[in-house]
């Protein structure tokens, strides 16, 4: 009987551990203003980092977001996750280097931020960028990013540099919170 109770307890505890959710820190927390540090290749491949990546993806999905940077979960690391479409797989971006492709211009983007709940702000984003980074396996990736992926990438990249969307708005557009922006993507 004791064995059955122990097995039942283990079955109840294991799923709870597998559903671990990270806390998203809010505007005003000092980690959000720090420049995050790079990860070494051995850190990227470590079981602890792989768990953090999985937990970040889970947290992003649970929070209804399309992107989440490590500083938003109080980890000052150059790492973010994103999911740019309904049928796309979550992507992991580590130690990104971004070059903005100015020749393709900029566009307005209405964005929400998981660290600034209840606010949707209009900011300017580059339409395309060149990004070099490591994926979750530590493999080097170089690509041109455009469309919604470019917007998410810029938002999350800003988090890695201690920049928030409130820093990017014009004084005249400060804290736009119109009903038309209620469904702005959360990043």
Q: Catalogue the long-range contacts made by 60-65 (C-beta closer than 8 Å, 24 or more residues apart).
A: 60/90, 60/114, 61/90, 62/21, 63/24, 63/114, 63/186, 64/186, 65/114, 65/185, 65/186, 65/187
C-beta neighbour count of 183 within 10 angstroms: 10
> Which of 46, 98, 35 lies closest to 70 in space, CA to CA?
35
Segment 24-41 shows an average pLDDT of 96
For the cut 80, the answer to whether the pLDDT of residue 183 exceeds it is: no
Q: Does domain 35-181 have CATH number 3.90.45.10?
A: yes
Structure tokens at 45: 């491949």
C-beta neighbour count of 122 within 10 angstroms: 17
Enumerate the domain spans of the chain: 35-181
Torsion of CA 164, 168, 170, 173, to 10 degrees: -50
* Residue 157 to residue 45: CA distance in whole angstroms: 21
pLDDT 10s digits, 42-94 = 999 999 999 999 999 999 999 999 999 999 999 999 999 999 998 999 999 99
> Which of 148, 158, 145 lies closest to 185 in space, CA to CA?
148
Of the pLDDT bands very low, low, confident and very high (cuts 50, 70, 90), residue 170 is low
Segment 146-158 shows an average pLDDT of 97
* Residue 19 to residue 17: CA distance in whole angstroms: 5
Exposed, middle or buried, 166 (CB in 10 Å: 0-12/13-18/19+)?
middle
Proportion of the chain in helix, strand, coil states, percent, rounded to 5: 40, 30, 35
Please tell me the predicted confidence (pLDDT) of residue 118.
87
Please say if 48 is a catalytic residue.
Answer: no
The one catalytic residue among 43, 48, 156, 174: 156
């Amino acid at each position: 009987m004791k064995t059955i109770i122990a097995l039942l307890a283990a079955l109840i505890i294991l799923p709870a551990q597998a559903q671990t959710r990270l806390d998203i820190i809010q505007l005003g927390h000092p980690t959000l203003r720090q420049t995050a540090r790079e990860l070494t290749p051995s850190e990227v491949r470590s079981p602890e980092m792989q768990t953090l990546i999985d937990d970040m993806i889970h947290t992003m999905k649970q929070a209804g977001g399309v992107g989440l940077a490590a500083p938003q979960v109080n980890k000052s690391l150059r790492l973010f996750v994103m999911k740019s479409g309904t049928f796309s797989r979550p992507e992991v971006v580590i130690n990104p280097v971004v070059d903005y492709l100015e020749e393709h211009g900029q566009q307005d983007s209405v964005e929400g931020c998981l660290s600034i709940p209840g606010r949707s702000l209009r900011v300017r984003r580059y339409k395309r960028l060149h990004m070099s980074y490591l994926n979750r396996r530590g493999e080097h990736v170089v690509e041109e990013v455009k469309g919604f992926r470019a917007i998410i990438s810029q938002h999350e990249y800003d988090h890695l540099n201690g920049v928030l969307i409130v820093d990017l708005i014009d004084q005249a557009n400060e804290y736009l919170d119109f009903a038309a922006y209620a469904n702005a993507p959360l990043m």
